[in-house]
């Protein structure tokens, strides 16, 4: 087996990946319409009481009233999701590795995408923050401390500066957040808070457009470099795909993220089974099994395709364990348990 001819040094490999990412720029330009023009875009104010109106007190009162029906468990998940959204500066920094905007105002399609994406995402944290503040249901200071810690702690997508890895990561995460916000919205609706249901529905629909963009971009990469793309996908799957809010910390609970993730699992907002289903979806969307590759990439292709079913079984085992975890106190809701 003489595979050395096809194992470029890591630096060369990353340089090749960078070239492919640049080569798909026409496709990026063609997909910039997945961003909504500002004059048509929703803004947080559209979903919040109008504090300039003469009857603002009644409006705020109604807003607060309907939030009373939201369960503590759902609140904890919502807070964790909001904190994750509020750490947007870390994600923008990280994605500049993909986009390489040297000036900050680069007119190139990749750079325009990153700025437009950041601007749309920025509304998510803003809106959820305003919802939580106005309802008076959570300890905002504890929540703010957690955001502060999370941004200061940072974020790593675990891609070792490989731009292919970043595209796999973002495709995965946009879908994960779409599922999570969508489920919080549906549960809020069932629990009787129509405001929160609408808010989460709007955010989920943004995530859905973003998911489409990154998934298409990675498909373009796979069309040009199926071997490299498949190897990058496999290396992301070999270590568990880390969640963006992984390093959240309220200065009290050393296992805060795990505790939050357990409540998300228990409520069914975002479960291990969702994780498995996202991977299966990406394997199908990127037609991994149909790509013609040889050598190490062919072995990675086999591994990815065989694994899809294994994640499902693992998900069932893991879910059973997580579902049994006892409720823990969260500073976000004044140490009530969830
Ligand atoms: Fe978001
Ligand atoms: Fe997103």
CATH of the domain at 20: 1.10.620.20
> Bridge partners of 329?
337
The percent of residues in the chain predicted with pLDDT above 70, rounded, is 98
Residue 249 forms part of a structural domain: yes
Assess if residue 4 is contained within a domain: no
The average pLDDT across 223-229 equals 98
Give the model's pLDDT for residue 1. 44
- CA dist., res. 84 & res. 181, Å (int): 12
CA of 213 to the centre of ligand 2 (A): 11
State the pLDDT confidence band at 234, using cuts at 50, 70 and 90: very high
SS3 state at 160: coil
Tell me the whole-structure pTM to 2 decimals: 0.95
pLDDT at 10 exceeding the cut of 90: no
Residue 338 lies in a domain: no
Span from the CA of 121 to the centroid of ligand 2 (angstroms): 6
| Ligand closest to the CA atom of residue 211 | 2
d(CA 273, CA 265): 9
Per-residue confidence at 62, pLDDT binned at 50, 70, 90? very high
From the CA of 243, how far away is ligand 2's center (Å)? 12
> Residue 2: pLDDT band by 50, 70, 90 thresholds?
very low
- Note the ligand closest to the C-alpha atom of 121: 1
Catalytic residues: 42, 85, 121, 124, 174, 177, 206-207, 210
Tell me, in angstroms, the distance from the centre of ligand 1 to residue 139's CA: 22
Q: With respect to residue 162, please indicate whether it lies within any of the assigned structural domains.
A: yes
Please write the tens of the pLDDT for every residue from 77-101.
Answer: 999 999 999 999 999 999 999 999 9
* Residue 241: strand, helix, or coil: coil
Mean pLDDT, rounded, of the chain: 95
Range of the domain at 327: 10-333
Give the pLDDT band (50/70/90) at residue 307.
Answer: confident
Confirm whether 5 is domain-assigned.
no
Could you tell me if residue 1 is inside a domain? no
**In this model, does residue 130 exceed pLDDT 50?**
yes
CA 54 to CA 44: how far, in whole Å? 20
* Domain-located, residue 2: no
Q: Is 137 exposed, middle or buried (0-12, 13-18, 19+ CB in 10 A)?
A: buried
The alpha carbon of 85 and the centre of ligand 2 are apart by a number of angstroms equal to 8
In a domain, 97, yes or no: yes
- What are the tens digits of pLDDT across the range 252-268? 999 999 999 999 999 99
Closest ligand to residue 174's CA: 2
Number of domains making up the chain = 1
Q: How is 151-168 classified by DSSP, letter by letter?
A: HHH----S-TT-HHHHHH
């Amino acid at each position: 087996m003489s595979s050395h001819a096809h194992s470029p040094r890591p630096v060369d490999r990353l340089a090749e990946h960078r070239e492919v990412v640049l080569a798909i720029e026409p496709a990026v330009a063609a997909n910039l319409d997945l961003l909504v023009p500002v004059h048509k875009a929703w803004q947080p104010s559209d979903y919040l009481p109008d504090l300039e109106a003469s009857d603002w007190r009644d409006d705020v009162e109604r807003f607060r009233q309907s939030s009373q029906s939201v369960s503590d468990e759902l609140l904890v998940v919502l807070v964790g999701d909001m904190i994750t959204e509020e750490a947007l500066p870390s994600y923008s920094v990280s994605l500049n590795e993909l986009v390489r905007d040297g000036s900050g105002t680069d007119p190139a399609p990749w750079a325009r995408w990153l700025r437009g994406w950041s601007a749309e995402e920025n509304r998510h944290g803003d809106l959820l923050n305003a919802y939580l503040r106005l309802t008076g249901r959570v300890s905002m200071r504890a929540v703010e401390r957690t955001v502060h810690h999370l941004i200061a702690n940072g974020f790593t997508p675990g891609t070792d500066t490989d731009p292919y890895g970043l595209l796999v990561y973002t495709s995965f995460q946009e879908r994960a957040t779409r599922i999570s916000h969508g489920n919080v919205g549906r549960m809020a609706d069932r629990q009787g808070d129509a405001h929160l249901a609408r808010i989460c529905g709007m955010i989920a629909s943004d995530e859905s457009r973003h998911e489409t963009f990154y998934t298409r971009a990675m498909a373009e990469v796979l069309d040009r470099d199926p071997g490299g793309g498949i190897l990058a996908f496999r290396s992301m799957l070999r270590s568990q795909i880390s969640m963006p809010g992984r390093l959240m910390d309220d200065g009290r609970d050393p296992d805060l993220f795990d505790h939050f993730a357990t409540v998300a699992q228990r409520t069914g907002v975002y479960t291990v089974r969702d994780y498995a289903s996202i991977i299966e979806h990406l394997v199908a969307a990127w037609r991994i099994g149909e790509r013609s590759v040889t050598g190490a990439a062919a072995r990675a292709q086999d591994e990815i395709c065989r694994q899809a079913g294994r994640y499902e079984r693992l998900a069932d085992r893991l879910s059973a364990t997580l579902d049994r975890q006892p409720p823990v106190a969260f500073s976000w809701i004044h140490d009530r348990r969830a």
